[in-house]
Amino acid sequence: MKVTRLHITNFRNIAETELYPGEGMNVIYGENAQGKTNLLESIWLFSGFKSFRGSKDHDLIRFGEEYLKSDFDFFGGERDQNAKMIISHQQKKILLNSVPLTAASKLIGHFNCVVFSPSYLSLIKGNPSERRKFIDSAICQIKPSYAKALTEYSKLLMQRNSFLKDLKYHQENYDFLEIWNTKLIEKAVFIINERIRYLEDLSVKASEIYGGLSGEKETLTLEYHLRVSQSKYRTVRDKVEREELEELFRQSENSDILYGSTNIGAHKDEIAVLIDGISAKSFGSQGQQRSAALALKLGEAEILKDMTGERPVALLDDVMSELDIHRQDYILNHIKDWQVFITCCDPATVLRLYDGKAFQIKEGKVV
């Protein structure tokens, strides 16, 4: 995967910029708040995923403007391709090789990239939903049917929850609960087992990378923790059976009805990240947590590469300044054959390690 040209108009603080990146390292440097992360974000959006900053579409349009336009040439799937994105306050148009797409998510799988930014520390420090989100979007990139299952699951979950709320007042409907359970459990089993399968691969990759980062002094392991009651989890190593979830749903039924919400299922599970066998979230040092987050993200990128046969584009936002030289060097060596966009305030650090192209960005303009 390579970005060959990017032309953006009215994207956040970037009024207009055209960029011809190099095949390897691309350093984007400049002072704070000049538009470096914005530039990475504009590339990221062509992956088909939502903004990694959690922004809404209309936040992306430059203040005071009517629309933004982003025109993107890339090499992927062994050919040159083009994608366009036009977002106005009223509508959003996405084109892939001149063909209109019904949603940005239809771009998933066409242009693959991974992003690392300091905010990824929340992958380790944040609550379980952060880790589920990470693993879910990683699987979506390699398995579109998984994305569909997730959407259906959350729809069913909402329906079951509103049914539960209703059930308190209409107990005569109790028999229908079984129907919602069956539907939801079927999707949950699929999702959980896909996650466990993915974790097996990710565990291998991430622990190898973590070993490298820590100079082989520490080990990283990942575990799938299935929620079995309000505050208890069970580690699942192989796969989960439908019967087991049915039993858990039965046990949780009274409290589900009481609270009007579903307390068991794929939306409640945890992915535990352990360093030397203990929770990185609870006990890891800042440096260990940062390294673990990077190992997960790099591991994700490697799996994507193995599955698609192409190296995804790597977007590294402000990561180097927080790492010691050994770790910086390890990361850069790990991805030196990839196309990389890396932002920093002082380009010297990165340029010392590699040759490549450098772009200075100032007040939303590449100068």
Ligand X SMILES: Nc1ncnc2c1ncn2[C@@H]1O[C@H](COP(=O)(O)OP(=O)(O)O)[C@@H](O)[C@H]1O
Give the residues lining the site for Mg ion (CB under 5 A).
Answer: 36-37
Residue 51: CB minimum distance to ligand X, A: 11
284 binds, among Mg ion, ligand X, none (CB under 5 to 8 A by kind): none
Q: Who's near 124: CB < 8 A, 6+ residues apart?
A: 273, 280, 281, 284, 289, 292, 293
By beta-carbon proximity to ligand X, the closer residue of 33 and 179 is 33
Residue 12: CB minimum distance to ligand X, A: 4
Residue 60: CB minimum distance to ligand X, A: 6
* Whether the Cβ atoms of residue 194 and residue 206 lie closer than 8 Å to each other: no
By beta-carbon proximity to ligand X, the closer residue of 53 and 234 is 53
Q: What x/- string results for residues 20 through 59 when contact with ligand X is judged by CB under 6 A?
A: ----------x-xxxxxxx--------------------x
- The 10 Å Cβ neighbour count of residue 51 is 14
13 binds, among Mg ion, ligand X, none (CB under 5 to 8 A by kind): ligand X
By beta-carbon proximity to Mg ion, the closer residue of 37 and 263 is 37
- Residue 321, token pair as written in the block: 């300044």
By beta-carbon proximity to ligand X, the closer residue of 61 and 319 is 61
Q: Which residue has the tokens 């979230």?
A: 281
- The 10 Å Cβ neighbour count of residue 156 is 20
Q: Who's near 352: CB < 8 A, 6+ residues apart?
A: none
30 binds, among ligand X, Mg ion, none (CB under 5 to 8 A by kind): ligand X
- Residue 236, token pair as written in the block: 């699942």
| Cα angle, residue 163 at apex, residues 159 and 168 outer, rounded to 5° | 160
Going by C-alpha positions, the residue among 124, 133, 120 that lies closest to residue 269 is: 133
Residue 118: CB minimum distance to Mg ion, A: 9
By beta-carbon proximity to ligand X, the closer residue of 170 and 362 is 362
By beta-carbon proximity to ligand X, the closer residue of 25 and 184 is 25
Residue 87: CB minimum distance to Mg ion, A: 21
The burial class, CB within 10 Å (0-12 / 13-18 / 19+), for 63 is exposed
Residue 341: CB minimum distance to Mg ion, A: 12
Give the whole-angstrom CA distance, residue 138 versus residue 308.
Answer: 13
Sign of CA dihedral 321, 290, 294, 138: negative
By beta-carbon proximity to ligand X, the closer residue of 37 and 137 is 37
Binding test (CB under 6 A) with ligand X, winner from 3, 6, 8, 12: 12
First to last CA, the chain: 26
> For the chain, what percentages of helix, strand and coil (3-state, to nearest 5) are there?
45, 25, 25
Residue 70: CB minimum distance to ligand X, A: 13
Residue 116: CB minimum distance to Mg ion, A: 12
Sign of CA dihedral 144, 145, 146, 147: positive
278 binds, among ligand X, Mg ion, none (CB under 5 to 8 A by kind): none
Count of residues that interact with ligand X, criterion CB under 6 A: 14
Binding test (CB under 6 A) with ligand X, winner from 54, 56, 63, 169: 63
Beta bridge partners of 340: 25, 314
Give the nearest residue (CB) to Mg ion: 37
Binding test (CB under 6 A) with ligand X, winner from 42, 46, 62, 226: 62
By beta-carbon proximity to ligand X, the closer residue of 57 and 152 is 57
The residues that touch ligand X, with contacts defined as CB under 6 A, are 12-13, 30, 32-38, 59, 61-63
